[in-house]
Structure formats: structure tokens, C-alpha cells
Amino acid sequence: MSSIDVVDKVDGFSRKSVRKAKQKRSQSSSQFRSQGKPIELTPLPLLKDVSAQEQPELFLKKLQQCCAVFDFMDTLSDLKMKEYKRSTLNELVDYVTVSRGYLTEQAYPEVVKMVSYNIFRTLPPSESNEFDPEEDEPTLEASWPHLQLVYEFFIRFLESQEFQPSIAKKYIDQKFVLQLLELFDSEDPRERDYLKTVLHRIYGKFLGLRAFIRKQINNIFLRFVYETEHFNGVAELLEILGSIINGFALPLKAEHKQFLVKVLIPLHTVRSLSLFHAQLAYCIVQFLEKDPALTEPVIRGLLKFWPKTCSQKEVMFLGELEEILDVIEPTQFVKIQEAIVALVYNVLKAFMEMNSTLFDELTSTYKSDRQREKKKEKEREELWKRLEDLELKRSLQSDGIIPT
């Protein structure tokens, strides 16, 4: 490993050469299963056009039809069937939103099957090894006209008043959650936003999956920090965690405290911190509001990973510290005095690196102001001393102790 690599790793910030221009990313699709021949779907009647007794069975048939996956890389293939499926998905979204009595026990496996067929796939690798999410345009999912409706349908399904987790847990299990978490690496921010909502609903509905979800997010972050340094959905997962942390019962469990120290604090070292720093800082503050005693390890952790060569990253650290200091209880300041002094030195260093001339001018002005304040304070003390002497002399004269 070269010395430059070592510095990059310690500082946790990429020292890449400046790009000449933002790279425009072409809109492409994930690698869907190729059918090899045109897909033909037999048109079914609309749900509103059949009797209430027939609707549950027709609902299942439409779910089965929507398991057909089309190749959106070929813009000219299956146009009629693509439009038919899009129309059917729209109908299903509306149906689960307003209808009652459709959610039979037989519907649960068919819903999960349809959703799985559509959203679970192998994500394509980045088109460029030098892909930088801060600079480059993301690859957008070409199948989004269908995929968005599938996500919308699934969210409405999970939010339905008729939804029964006791039945659904047989199909929405650990394997399903693992596949869902893998999709958070999608480059398409629209998909990650829907995934965030889906995972949040699953976490809220399935108590038995909560510990598993937290553990798998923990594993994703550890791989991200110590192995790959690449995962597109960190911000979205942190946003979910912010809500989860807010709901932790007191006193905090040891595993939660360990997650803060061993996972969240080291996230400050990665190159792409700016992409998720706001969500990370929110999680940190949530922990401190839950347990102020965690202030000391958090402050010391930030000091340990304080950026050495990047003023932009230092500004982010300073902003986070401001948020932390806003929620710190006075009793905690005594325990972190030494750390606060070290932080002040880091701030001074950051100011010096940003503009040494301005820093010198401000330092000189500060010293002059301090000298004037000390001079005024000394004059004030001398004045009070003279006044006290005069008062004492007047008192002694009035008592006849000394002649007037």
C-alpha cells in the first residue's frame, strides 16, 4: 500500500484528482430475465365490472399476470403488453386503496410473489469504476413505469386496514428482508426512496423481524466502512435508523450503545460522508438525547476521526458538534473538558488552513480586544477601591475617629 493510500484511509476522504466535467450517465436498466419471445397476456375484465363475489378471484389472476417481467432495454418490444401491465398495476393500486374484503388468506402469497418477481433482481455494476455519486448522474431504472407502481401497490398493501402480519409473516420473512436490503444499493434515488418506505412499514408491522433488520443494517454499514466503501443507500438506511433510535426504550441496551460506538462513529471516516452526513448527525443526536452519558465516547470518537486534510469535511464535523453541544446537559461538560480543549485546537487549525491571513488578523484583533478589556477591568477595580477608601474615610470622620 502506498503512502498516499495510507493517508487516504486514515483521513477517510478521497484525494482524487479534480474531474474536468460532470459525467452524464445514460439511463439504463437492471438486468431482467430475458424471455426470448414476445409475452402475451390475456386481457381480463376490470375489477369494477365484476360482482363483489368474483373480485377476490379476479384480483388473484391479475396479480399472477403482473408477474410477467418485460425487457425495457428493448424500447420497441412488447409495447402493447407493457401498456396493459402498466394499466393493470394502476388498477391494482386503486383497488387495494379503496376496496374491502379483497385481502383473503390466499392473496398474501400471490402479492409477495408478484412483488418479488418484479423488484428482486441482480443490480448491474456501475458503468464506470470511477463513478462518483457526488459528481456523476445516477443510472436510472428504465423499467420504472412498472417498478414504481409495484412499489406503490406493495406500500398500500402493507398500510391496508385489513393487513394481518400474523398471516403475512409466513411470506415476508428474513429472506425477503435480505433481498430488500440488497436493493438499497440501487443507483436510482427514486427506487431507494420507495424502499425506505417499504422497510419502515415492515419494521413497524413485524415485531419478530426488528432485531434481524437492525443486525443486517449493522452488517451493511460494517462492510461499507471496512471493505467496500461503496453502497448507494446509506442515507436512506440512516434515515430509517433515526426513527428506530427515537423509539428505543430506556435504559438503552448494550447492543444499541455498541452500535453507536462501533458502527455510527466510524461512518465519519468514509470518503462519501457528505452524501449522508445530515442523517448520520441526526442519529448521533438521537442517541445523546436518549442517554446523555454517551456524550463523552461520541466526542472522543469524533476527535479520533477528525479529518486531517479536508476543510470541507471539517466544516461538516463542526456543524455536527454544534448540534451535539445544543443537546448536551451541563453535567456532561465537566466530563468532556479535556475533549473540548482538543476540539478548540482543531477549530483553530481549521481556521488557519482556510485563510491564514484572515486568521492572523482576527487573532490580533482578539488579543487587542482582550487587552482593552483587561485595562478597563483594572481601571474599574481601581475606581471601586478609591470609592471604598473614600466611603471608609467618611465613615470614620462621622464617628469622630479621625478629625474632619
Same domain, residue pair 49 and 166? yes
Number of compact structural domains in the chain = 2
Q: How far is Cα 44 from Cα 48, in angstroms, rounded to an integer?
A: 12
pLDDT at 182: 97
Q: What range does the domain containing 58 cover?
A: 41-119+142-172
Question: 152 and 53 in one domain?
Answer: yes
Instruction: Please give the helix or strand (H or E) that residue 98 lies within, else none.
Output: helix 79-98
Residues 257, 212 within the same domain: yes
Q: Scanning the structure block, which residue is given the C-alpha cell 422497510?
A: 199
pLDDT at 190: 96
Question: What pLDDT shows up at residue 100?
Answer: 85
In-domain check, residue 105: yes
Say if residue 79 is in the same domain as residue 211: no
According to the model, what pLDDT value does residue 369 have?
A: 83
Q: Is 23 part of a structural domain of the chain? A: no
| CATH number where 344 lies | 1.25.10.10
C-alpha–C-alpha distance, residues 74 and 317, integer Å: 47
pLDDT of the residue at 130: 58
Q: Is there a single domain that holds both residue 162 and residue 83? A: yes
Last residue of a domain, one of 336, 354, 372: 354
Q: Which of 268, 33, 16 is nearest to 129 (CA)?
A: 16
Q: What is the pLDDT of residue 194?
A: 98
Statement to judge: residues 150 and 260 lie in one domain: no
Quick one: 206 and 346 in the same domain?
yes
pTM as predicted? 0.77
- Residue 126 domain-assigned (yes or no): no
Nearest alpha carbon to residue 287 among 348, 250, 246: 246
Q: Is 23 helix (H, G, I), strand (E, B) or coil?
A: coil
Q: Which pLDDT tens digits describe the chain residue by residue (404 residues)? A: 444 443 343 343 333 333 434 444 544 444 444 455 677 888 899 999 999 899 999 999 999 999 999 888 887 778 899 999 999 999 999 999 998 888 899 999 999 999 999 999 998 877 655 566 667 788 899 899 999 999 999 999 999 999 999 999 999 999 999 999 999 999 999 999 999 999 999 999 999 999 999 999 999 999 999 998 899 999 999 999 999 999 999 999 999 999 999 999 999 999 899 999 999 999 999 999 999 889 889 988 988 888 877 768 878 888 888 898 888 877 777 767 676 776 677 667 766 666 667 667 767 787 888 888 888 888 888 889 888 888 877 777 776 666 66
Report yes or no on 256 lying in a domain.
yes
Do 211 and 341 share a domain, yes or no?
A: yes
Whether residues 146 and 242 share a domain: the answer is no
Residue 276 inside a domain? The answer is: yes
DSSP string, 293-351: GGHHHHHHHHHHT--SS-HHHHHHHHHHHHHHHHH--HHHHHHTHHHHHHHHHHHHHHH
In a domain, 48, yes or no: yes
Provide the pLDDT for residue 351: 67
For residue 167, being part of any structural domain is answered with yes
Per-residue pLDDT at 139: 86
Do 148 and 209 belong together in one domain? no
Q: Give residue-wise pLDDT tens across range 50-64.
A: 998 999 999 999 999
- Which pLDDT score is estimated for 4? 41
**Distant-in-sequence, close-in-space partners of 42: CB < 8 Å, separation ≥ 6:** 65
| 147 and 237 housed in the same domain | no
Domain contains 115: yes
Question: Do both 97 and 226 map to the same domain?
Answer: no
